[in-house]
Each structure stands twice: as structure tokens, then as C-alpha cells.
Chains A and B, each alone.
Chain A
Amino acid sequence: EVQLVESGGALIQPGGSLRLSCTASGFSLNNYVMNWVRQAPGKGLEWVSLMFSGGGTYYPDSVKGRFTISRDDSKNTLYLHMNNLRAEDTAIYYCARDRDWSYDFWGQGTLVTVSS
């Protein structure tokens, strides 16, 4: 059974750093394109990063230079390293698998709150 489980969300002060994790089961992360998607409270979905199976990474301008997506194949885990966090980064962060132009499986999300 395919499953994605996010963790690492926390209350963090502005300017701080945080690392989110997404552990996969039922498939190997390194065979798929993997994404992080976030949703601010009461707002819509926003794509924030992706990693291709070959390791290439991409980001929208809103997080470029502050967020880094990475992967540990031995742990079958995807990460999102977030630096210089701002209040507007407050959101639920989801990881999602991209298979054949389909975001077919999503985790349950982990909440990041940036506040002093």
C-alpha cells in the first residue's frame, strides 16, 4: 500500500530554520518525481518544490534560495529544508507523488507555524 507520512512541523520564530520529512512506504521515492505543496490557513494550494528521480530540483520564486528539497534513498525519505522562515510560510505542508503527470498520492500534511 502506498503511503506518505510527513513530520517535523513546529512553531518556529521568524528567521528560523526547520526540516520537514516525508517517509514513503509501498514504493521507492527515487523512482518518482516528488513534490512539496503547502496550504496557508484558509487559503489555496501552492506548489513549493519538486525533485526528479535523477535528483534535479526546482522551486517557485516565492521560496527559491530559502527552501531546499532533498532525499535519503536509504531511508526512503524526502526532506524540505526551510531557512529564513517568514510569517507567510505558515501553512500545512504536504508531500505528493507525481506519476505520469498525476499527483496521485498525498500525505496527511504537517503544520508549520512561523510566529514570535
Chain B
Amino acid sequence: QTVVTQEPSLTVSPGGTVTLTCASNTGAVTSDYHPNWFQQKPGLAPRPLTYDTSHKHSWTPARFSGSLLGGKAALTLSGAQPEDEAEYYCLLFYGGAQRAFGAGTKLTVL
């Protein structure tokens, strides 16, 4: 069974930088896993932020960036804003058409 692991919670200061990571129990996350990142605020559907490791959607603020870091997928937020306080989820694509989400990271901007 695939398990995708994220930090349960992180805190960043306004204007600061923070990196969220996403690991797989199957081994190092590579571009073959096509990592996606989503932001979710209470009561709303997930909002896509990045896909296929580092691509951004047209609506994604420039302060968000996706990458691979030390065998994990990563989402870096540079210049945190109060409105970035939310839950963040990663999604990995596995072979055999399986997909798996991480359990989410609760990001506090404080």
C-alpha cells in the first residue's frame, strides 16, 4: 500500500519562506511521479497550485514554486502572506494508474 507523507503542520512568519515536502514509502519521488500541489481553505474545494513537479497554473501566485528536493517533492512559498494560511496537499501518480494524496500540511502564517 502506498503511503505519501507530509509534515503535519508548519509555521511561517509573514514575508518569510517555507518549504513543504512530500515523500513516498516506495522510495525517492522523481519527476515520474508528476507531483501536484493543492491549497485548501475551510469549506472550499482544493485549489490546484502546481503540477508535473514545477509547472504553475495561470492563477498560481508567483510566490509558490514546486520542485524536487532530497528525494521528495517540495512546495516552496517565498514571501508568505496571511491569505496563504491553509491546508496543503500533494498528489503523486503511481504506476498502474494509481494515485495517492498526502495527509496534508496545515500551514500557519504567524
Q: Which residues 1-45 of B sit at the A interface, judged by CB distance below 8 A?
A: 1, 34, 36, 38, 40, 45
Q: Which residues 54-110 of A sit at the B interface, judged by CB distance below 8 A?
A: 56, 58, 60-61, 94, 100-109
Q: Which residues of B contact A60 (CB under 8 A)?
A: 98, 100
B62 at the binding interface (Cβ < 8 Å): no
Find out whether the CB atom of B45 lies under 8 angstroms from the CB atom of A102. Answer: no
Find out whether the CB atom of B102 lies under 8 angstroms from the CB atom of A44. Answer: yes
Q: Which residues of A contact B75 (CB under 8 A)?
A: none
Q: Which residues 79-99 of B sit at the A interface, judged by CB distance below 8 A?
A: 89, 91, 93, 96-99
Find out whether the CB atom of B52 lies under 8 angstroms from the CB atom of A102. Answer: yes
Find out whether the CB atom of B100 lies under 8 angstroms from the CB atom of A106. Answer: no
With A and B bound together, what is the CA distance between A103 and B47 in angstroms?
Answer: 9
* Known contacts A44-B104, A45-B89, A101 near B97 by CB under 8 Å: no
Find out whether the CB atom of A35 lies under 8 angstroms from the CB atom of B52. Answer: no
Find out whether the CB atom of B38 lies under 8 angstroms from the CB atom of A107. Answer: no
B65 to chain A, nearest CB (A): 16
With A and B bound together, what is the CA distance between A52 and B103 in angstroms?
Answer: 25
* Known contacts A102-B51, A103-B48, A106-B45, A47 near B101 by CB under 8 Å: yes
Across the interface, name the chain B residue whose C-beta is closest to A101.
Answer: B34
Find out whether the CB atom of A102 lies under 8 angstroms from the CB atom of B101. Answer: no
Residue with the greatest number of chain B CB neighbours at <10 A, chosen from A45, A56, A103, A108: A45
Q: Which residues 45-86 of B sit at the A interface, judged by CB distance below 8 A?
A: 45-48, 51-52, 55, 57
A25 to chain B, nearest CB (A): 16
Write 23 A-B pairs (CB below 8 A) sorted by A numbering.
A37-B101, A44-B102, A44-B103, A44-B104, A45-B40, A45-B46, A45-B91, A46-B101, A47-B99, A52-B97, A60-B100, A61-B1, A101-B36, A101-B93, A102-B48, A102-B51, A103-B51, A104-B48, A106-B45, A106-B48, A107-B45, A108-B45, A109-B45
